[in-house]
Structure 1
């Protein structure tokens, strides 16, 4: 069977005007996971990212090239838009700037999004599910044996929940566990695919590497 290795992007710029920019830590995380893959002899023969800058920059800092293929299905759901829709354009300042409050509110918001409990979001949860599955099918429609994808936490949570046959709530519980530059591995052959490894960070296993760990 072939391998689909999906890596979450490095730490982005939470609390700034443009989240879609890797922090300095995000670049170091990306360098570390790229170094690990080369040291263990895992060299991809197909590269795919979403269209987001933080995903492309993660791959670049990992040291892989040439320029990859892109599929927008690997993009994160737009959490700014979801919060805006849920709070009718008046997102509380604490939700915007405090990490714990933000992610608690985001969890609740995604659950409401899944239930279609508010209107006005640019994308429904059903549309998100469909585009993630389309992206997975795109990445797995190949003769390549090692496919490397750089994506985002929500997409990884959705892929993993689907592979496990879990209910839709489980997608968000997994999403919130996904560490920056963690590795989630699937095995595939034709239409068959299954989860092999979730949220692994061997590049953070040393005392030096542990200092690189982040979730957002």
Structure 2
């Protein structure tokens, strides 16, 4: 059956001046995943990414690992929500937690609380509303799950992927955040689709990360 593989980008550059670029590990993760897909004979006839650099670099690495060349579609609806912009809106008057963009624990704790407020429309003047975010993610997925394609690779980000799954399962927003916080870099999530329906078929899978390489390749940010 036609399958949409929603893939989270590889490890980005957390704490750096430009987060939106893959680290050395991120490039290795992408290549390893592409190699695994090729070994399994899972070959896409449509590939896509959002507009973010880390998503584009991840897809390029996957295709190199598969030794395939395909022209990707760009769907901005696959982009991550602007967490930095949400923080600026929430803490416009100051009071932001120390280390929220450089310390992993502080960052994810702040993310959890901030997104919950955003989902309840409690943050004034956000970069986009929660409803706008969920709508664009849904529109992007619908555009990819179209007739005439069998295997779709789409590189996105943890928040957008988790929202796509949450919408499919019709779960409350809190579960979107829980899924996002456990999403591994280059994790594969599968949605099987037909013209009439869609089916959730796999979550947060990293078959290319094994006991032999997990110490280096298993990352979350």
Normalised by the size of structure 1, how large is the TM-score?
Answer: 0.96
Other-structure match for 2:197 = 192
Other-structure match for 1:33 = 33
Other-structure match for 1:59 = 59
Q: CA deviation at 1:92?
A: 3.4
Structure 1: 4+ residue segments shifted above 3 A: 89-93
The CA distance in 1 between the partners of 2:177 and 2:165, in whole Å, is 10
State the Cα RMSD in Å: 1.2
Q: CA deviation at 1:75?
A: 0.3
Given candidates 199, 202, 213, the residue that maps to 1:208 is 213
Other-structure match for 2:123 = 118
Are 1:11 and 1:22, in contact at CA under 8 Å, matched by a contact in 2?
Answer: yes
Other-structure match for 1:133 = 138
Give secondary structure in 2 for the equivalent of 1:175.
helix
The CA distance in 2 between the partners of 1:162 and 1:197, in whole Å, is 15
How many matched pairs?
A: 216
The CA distance in 1 between the partners of 2:93 and 2:206, in whole Å, is 37
The CA distance in 1 between the partners of 2:196 and 2:99, in whole Å, is 45
Other-structure match for 1:13 = 13
The CA distance in 2 between the partners of 1:65 and 1:149, in whole Å, is 15
Are 1:49 and 1:150, in contact at CA under 8 Å, matched by a contact in 2?
Answer: yes
Give secondary structure in 1 for the equivalent of 2:70.
coil
Other-structure match for 1:166 = 171
2:108 is aligned with 1:108: no
Are 2:97 and 2:106, in contact at CA under 8 Å, matched by a contact in 1?
Answer: no
User: Any gaps of 5 or more consecutive residues in structure 1?
Assistant: none
Given candidates 66, 73, 79, the residue that maps to 1:75 is 79
Deviations 1:63-91 (A, max 9, x none): 14323001110000011101111111643
Q: Structure 1 residues 89, 184: closer, same or farther in 2, change over 3 A?
A: farther
User: Any gaps of 5 or more consecutive residues in structure 2?
Assistant: none
Normalised by the size of structure 2, how large is the TM-score?
Answer: 0.94
